Structure 1
Amino acid sequence: MGRELLSVVVTTFNNADTLDACLRGVSWADEIVVLDSGSTDATTAIAAHYGARIHTQTFVGYSAQKQAAIDLASHRWVLLLDSDESLDAESAAKLEQALRAPQHAGYQLWRREWQFWRWQSRRSRLNHYVRLFDRQRARMSEHEVHEEVQVDGSMGVLDVVIDHHGEPDISGRVAKANRYSSMQLTDLARREVSWLRLRMVVYPAVAFLRYYALRGHWRSGWAGFIAARIHAFYAFLKYAKLYELQRRRQD
């Protein structure tokens, strides 16, 4: 019995350091679509090496850029990956098996995080995201950051783990927290967020405890502790920046 044809979709911008591993793990797919934002490194050369269909578009935001890439796919079933994510051979086999007779409109996959100098502990909690889906029944959300695939239909979970290489060092993780907290202002400003001063005091501690204790990142030693502290800093920054925006509007 054959399987559904699959398009792997990746958005890129100067991702030569990680793109080879990303595309190597999905080279078995029926199609690879890369939507590039004007890379100046070897990104497009790597994509061409794996036979990808390469398109170029000015970056229009994380969600809109990914939706544009999904719309370029030739096949109904899509596997959406970030350029710093990769799959091993075992995961690829499980995806192929799921595509032989899909039971749902979309599937969540697990993701393992690189934390500065080590992978997160195997006993800590993995996040999961919708990455395999029928594109005729799914669209990207409109969030500026933390965008997600929204599926119109039933959802399944596959025993597939994506390796997320992410930021290689603390400096990169802090820079991302600063950048994302600024971008999230658009989403936060649309809502009526109250008790901002209290949120700045309380929420970072809650975010730290949830990440470090409840998700089990304490098992990753100092790497897990540092990641939790940066996560709490991000929680503080997004509300502090919203408070600053409101004060400036009042003044």
Structure 2
Amino acid sequence: MAPVSVVIITKNEAALIAGCIQAASLITDDIVVIDNGSTDETLQIIRQYNCRLFQTNWYGYGANKNKGVALARYNWILSIDADELPDMELVTALHNLDLQDPKVAYDIKFRSYFGEKLIRFGNWGRDHHLRLFNRTTVKWSEPEVHEKLMVCNDIKIKKIAGHLHHYSVQNIEECNSKAVYYARLSARQYHAMGKKATFTKLYLSPVFGFVKNYIFRFGFLDGAEGLDIALAIYKNTRLKYAYLRLYTKSKPITQTTQGIHKELVVEY
């Protein structure tokens, strides 16, 4: 087994969590699952496997991921979601890594799916994220949504072979539901940061996002699913600024963000 802890956060992932844990067990003998209030069969499924389950309230994506990181046995952390599965090329690469330098973080390529269809173009077809890191030098930021890994200036970012296969949505209804859900979370975060819903953000940014994803990044080559994804991106951008405008009119700003000194915030 690799000296890496796999940290997974879950909520109502009964359809996917077994495959995720089975794949993770090919990597390590330390799998930490942080469950955030599942009401389906997720907990019963997790308990069938050799992993450590912890249940907690919802404090945000980054905060709950950091809870799992703190509970891990190893300093090297592979952070994945319940709908992400490492392939055998990635598993092999992880076993062959020389994990001696804590000031290295690894960027992993993604293959994203709409239902069972692999999405090859658009934003989803270009997806990759920092997911393997040493907790002594790297940690998650803790906003309510769009958490990022915070890496110091002297951290070296390297690529690694293989992919995480991301089964993002099962159908158009789930795709649209996620677009609305993340729009609300983003709007609250933007409001707390003091951002404004300008005319450009509210009306031009959604169109630009659609055109960039669907035309310039060839999302149309993914067929009906490519159009659904581009429309969901449009909807998400449009709604988050519409919600932000409503929050700005109805609520005072109660918190501000503080700058992070000598750190880079990285989101791939």
Normalising by structure 2, we get a TM-score of 0.85
Matched residue count: 248
Q: Please give the secondary structure, in 2, of the residue aligned with 1:184.
A: helix
- CA distance in 1: counterparts of 2:197 and 2:12, whole angstroms: 40
- CA distance in 1: counterparts of 2:240 and 2:92, whole angstroms: 40
1:69-218 matches, cutoff 5 A: 69-99=68-98, 104-121=103-120, 125-152=125-152, 153-194=155-196, 196-218=198-220
- CA distance in 2: counterparts of 1:125 and 1:159, whole angstroms: 17
User: CA contact under 8 A between 2:76 and 2:133: conserved in structure 1?
Assistant: yes
Identity %: 27
Structure 1 letter corresponding to 2:34: L
- CA distance in 1: counterparts of 2:101 and 2:24, whole angstroms: 19
User: CA contact under 8 A between 1:27 and 1:50: conserved in structure 2?
Assistant: no
User: CA contact under 8 A between 2:14 and 2:42: conserved in structure 1?
Assistant: yes
Corresponding residue number in structure 2 for 1:226: 228
User: CA contact under 8 A between 1:212 and 1:218: conserved in structure 2?
Assistant: yes
How far apart are 1:159 and its partner, in Å?
2.6
Q: Please give the secondary structure, in 2, of the residue aligned with 1:54.
A: strand
User: CA contact under 8 A between 1:113 and 1:120: conserved in structure 2?
Assistant: yes
How far apart are 1:58 and its partner, in Å?
1.5
1:17-32 matches, cutoff 5 A: 17-28=15-26, 29-32=28-31
Structure 2 letter corresponding to 1:10: I
Shift in alpha-carbon separation, 1:52–1:118, aligned structure 2, 3 A: same
User: CA contact under 8 A between 1:62 and 1:145: conserved in structure 2?
Assistant: yes
User: CA contact under 8 A between 1:138 and 1:149: conserved in structure 2?
Assistant: yes
- CA distance in 2: counterparts of 1:99 and 1:42, whole angstroms: 38
- CA distance in 2: counterparts of 1:94 and 1:122, whole angstroms: 25
**C-alpha RMSD of the superposition:** 2.2
Shift in alpha-carbon separation, 1:198–1:154, aligned structure 2, 3 A: same
Normalising by structure 1, we get a TM-score of 0.90
How far apart are 1:40 and its partner, in Å?
3.3
Shift in alpha-carbon separation, 1:56–1:120, aligned structure 2, 3 A: same
